[in-house]
């Protein structure tokens, strides 16, 4: 008799655990919708004119992609223009090329880091204009700009790395 009661108890407990786990999965499936959020707290200055957000986050099912620093190199020979704006355009174009390999675009970028050689206000103005040209909806990623004296290659004036989140 004890054996039967123990077996019935174990069976009931198993059914209960299975049903709770099944309900848990339903909740997880409903809440795993992916969303990317840009935050610009009202108590901080508005960063959108400067082409960045204070913070971005991703929630739900998806894949993070960590993109190495993209320079302003053109073509397969990685030719570098002496013109800063040209290098900025190509660094962003190269970033878009890598994102396209994942079926993504700049909207999926959560964070960028920009390294600029001999940074000044004119270069910042050019960078900001080209960011606005690339992120047309003005939903910019979080961003850090770091002035540097030199980059990996001679004549390299800019390098942009990124973290993207691609929804599944």
Higher pLDDT, 36 or 124: 124
If we measure between CA atoms, which residue out of 163, 49, 36, 64 comes closest to residue 111? 163
**Class of the CATH-defined domain 36-167:** alpha beta
Q: Where are the domains of the chain?
A: 36-167
For 31-90, how does the pLDDT look when each residue is reduced to its tens digit (9 = 90+)? Answer: 556 677 888 889 887 989 988 888 778 778 889 999 999 999 998 889 999 999 999 999
The strands making up 158-167's β-sheet, listed across from edge to edge, are: 62-71, 158-167, 109-117, 142-148
The pLDDT of 119-124, averaged and rounded, is: 98
């Amino acid at each position: 008799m004890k054996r039967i009661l123990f077996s019935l108890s174990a069976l009931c407990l198993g059914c209960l655990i299975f049903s709770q786990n099944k309900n848990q999965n339903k909740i997880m499936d409903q809440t795993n919708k992916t969303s990317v959020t840009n935050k610009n707290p009202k108590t901080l200055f508005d960063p959108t004119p400067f082409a960045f957000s204070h913070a971005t986050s991703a929630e739900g099912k998806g894949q993070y992609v960590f993109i190495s620093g993209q320079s302003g190199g053109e073509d397969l020979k990685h030719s570098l223009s002496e013109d800063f704006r040209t290098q900025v355009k190509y660094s962003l174009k190269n970033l878009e090329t890598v994102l396209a390999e994942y079926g993504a675009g700049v909207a999926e970028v959560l964070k960028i880091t920009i390294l600029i050689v001999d940074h000044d206000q004119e270069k910042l103005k050019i960078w900001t204009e080209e960011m606005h040209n690339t992120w047309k909806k003005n939903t910019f990623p979080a961003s850090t700009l770091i002035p540097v004296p030199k980059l990996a290659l001679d004549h390299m004036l800019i390098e942009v790395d990124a973290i993207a989140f691609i929804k599944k």
